Structure 1
Amino acid sequence: MKHSQDYPLNARPMIGLEDEYPAGFVDPWHCHERAQFLYASAGVMSVVTPQTSFVIPPQRAVWLPANTMHEVSCRGAVSLRTLYIDPVHDNAPDSCRVLEVSDFLKALVLEVVKFPAAYDLDGREGRIAWLLLDEIRRMPGAPYHVPMPSDPRLVHACRAIIADPADRRDIDAWSVLVGMSRRTFTRTFKQELGMGFALWRQQVRLMQAVSLLASGRSITSVALDVGYESPSAFTAMFHRAFGEPPSAYVSR
């Protein structure tokens, strides 16, 4: 797998690569000199930074500023299109976030990843690259992330829940697992993340749910896979969180 360090920063303001990864692939903790735009044209991937965990469903992208430590894992087979952007030129989001990808932006990305490494900056290819940067700046954010704690004991619990949102262990079980009292666990969790454990886990489940729905899974299978006892309970929670039932989300 090639990374931005394989190319001099002054080579071109933007370099595009395309890769195919199998289910279960993990690219361990690393960072890049360039800002990175990771676009999943097919499949679902997870990106974790020290502060945030993201789930990127198909046809969405995650923006990572230069020198952001992160780990990437593929929940299924993933078709990935990556743009490495010189931070001198990006003028784009200054924090990690998931972005919507319009049909127009998708077309630009698929074009740029086919450019030769030494493409003509003053010709058609250069104009497309600059236009692509403008389009990235216009894209709205998408709700596919949750905050991560800094306490290593809480990190252990949170990463386990993200890996398996259907895990039904309660606070007492998680407290014992990470070697904390229930009171310390709940107090530290709220201090670090600004919300209680139950709400945070609900957000993880909803984040995973919208990702699975976007990849074409049925509402019933998604409800069970993210830890709800019935599709009706999942539908009620989804409606409270997003203001519409999952069926409306799927149709849209």
Structure 2
Amino acid sequence: MNWTTPDPSMRCGHDDEHQTLPHPVTAKARNYRNGETPIHTHPRAQLIYAGSGVMRVETEAGCWVVPPVRGVWIPANTAHRVIMLGPVQMRTLYIRPDAAPDLPGHCCLLEVSPLLRALILALLEEPLAYDRDGRAGQIAALVLSELRFLKLPALHLPMPAEPRLRRLCETLTADPGHPATLETLAEQQATSSRTLARQFQRETGMSFRQWRQQARLVEALGHLAGGMPVALVAARLGYRNASAFTAMFRRTLGVEPRRYFSSPPEAEARP
């Protein structure tokens, strides 16, 4: 699939009021048991947030695992796909591009603050075509203000553009335990592993070793979200024991695996 030139049939939402209303911010709630969306775009910028459950968001530039309390910022007209890792309560903000010109021009993972979660729920309780001069308009203004103060955590898996390196990364994304390395790729291509390493660093901003650990972490989050025991996840990813895996997880994300997915209940969220 060519991410850079999505088929026009994959562009969705253009006739959806969430995209066409003059309101600067609209909110949408959808619940999924599982599955994935096709690759598509929106004319508005988008914050994808899980009230509960875990999603994996993929773009040409990389992929992000999105547990509760985090969201993915997607600029307008960016081709993306969302994969549900089990049941998901998806809460989405659609933001008119000119309403938030100082927000990132690239996809990134955001920490969704308790205040923003409350504002999303409050906006969902208002009519879609809300009174922009009334209470809902004030909520929307607060949403735009709060978005500017959100933190950007480091959990992102960038993909290189160079074809050989991208194929290697796609292999490891599909199977993080695969033995492929830059050295084996260099032997196959009759080139220097140091040359590939420099190119990898230049294209992704990470060393290959850092990238590989990140790929394993992203894969681990998917398994943990599905309820797989920590010990089994550690074994699947090649760690010598659960303690070694837990130490890496805590060092990278600041919490133990079993605490990463904790989030406040959203029973009050509109389906």
Structure 2 gaps of 5+ residues are 1-11, 263-271
Q: Which residue of 2 aligns with 1:39?
A: 49
CA–CA separation in structure 1 for the residues paired with 2:33 and 2:225: 19
1:144 aligns with 2:155: yes
Partner of 2:244, secondary structure, is helix
CA–CA separation in structure 1 for the residues paired with 2:65 and 2:190: 30
Which one of the candidate residues 155, 169, 181 is aligned to 1:158? Answer: 169
| Equivalent pair of 1:58/1:215 in contact (CA under 8 Å) | no
CA–CA separation in structure 1 for the residues paired with 2:246 and 2:30: 35
Q: Which residue of 1 aligns with 2:72?
A: 62
CA 135–212 in structure 1, closer or farther in 2 if over 3 Å, else same: farther
- Once structures 1 and 2 are overlaid, which stretch shifts more, 225-234 or 47-56? 225-234
Question: CA-to-partner distance for each residue in 1:187-229, whole Å, 9 max, x for gaps?
Answer: 4434422443332111222344467667876532442344423
Partner of 2:56, secondary structure, is strand
Amino acid at match of 1:143: A
Amino acid at match of 1:220: A
TM-score (structure 2 length as normaliser): 0.76
Q: Which residue of 2 aligns with 1:96?
A: 107
CA 240–17 in structure 1, closer or farther in 2 if over 3 Å, else same: closer
| Equivalent pair of 1:82/1:113 in contact (CA under 8 Å) | no
1:105 aligns with 2:123: no
| Equivalent pair of 2:235/2:242 in contact (CA under 8 Å) | yes
Q: Which residue of 1 aligns with 2:28?
A: 17
Computed over aligned residues only, the root mean square deviation of the Cα atoms, in angstroms, reads 3.2
1:83 aligns with 2:83: no
Which one of the candidate residues 214, 223, 226 is aligned to 1:203? Answer: 214
Q: Which residue of 2 aligns with 1:189?
A: 200
Amino acid at match of 1:70: H
Which one of the candidate residues 133, 142, 147 is aligned to 1:122? Answer: 133
> Identity over the aligned pairs, expressed in percent?
39
- Once structures 1 and 2 are overlaid, which stretch shifts more, 221-230 or 139-148? 221-230
CA–CA separation in structure 2 for the residues paired with 1:131 and 1:245: 29
Structure 1 gaps of 5+ residues are none
CA–CA separation in structure 2 for the residues paired with 1:180 and 1:71: 32
Amino acid at match of 1:60: R
Amino acid at match of 1:137: R
Partner of 2:144, secondary structure, is helix
TM-score (structure 1 length as normaliser): 0.81
Q: How many residue pairs get matched? A: 247
| Equivalent pair of 1:34/1:66 in contact (CA under 8 Å) | yes
- Once structures 1 and 2 are overlaid, which stretch shifts more, 208-217 or 230-239? 208-217
- Once structures 1 and 2 are overlaid, which stretch shifts more, 119-128 or 108-117? 108-117
Partner of 2:99, secondary structure, is coil
CA 248–44 in structure 1, closer or farther in 2 if over 3 Å, else same: closer
Partner of 1:61, secondary structure, is strand
Which one of the candidate residues 161, 178, 181 is aligned to 1:171? Answer: 181
Question: CA-to-partner distance for each residue in 1:21-56, whole Å, 9 max, x for gaps?
Answer: 233x22232222111010011121111222232111
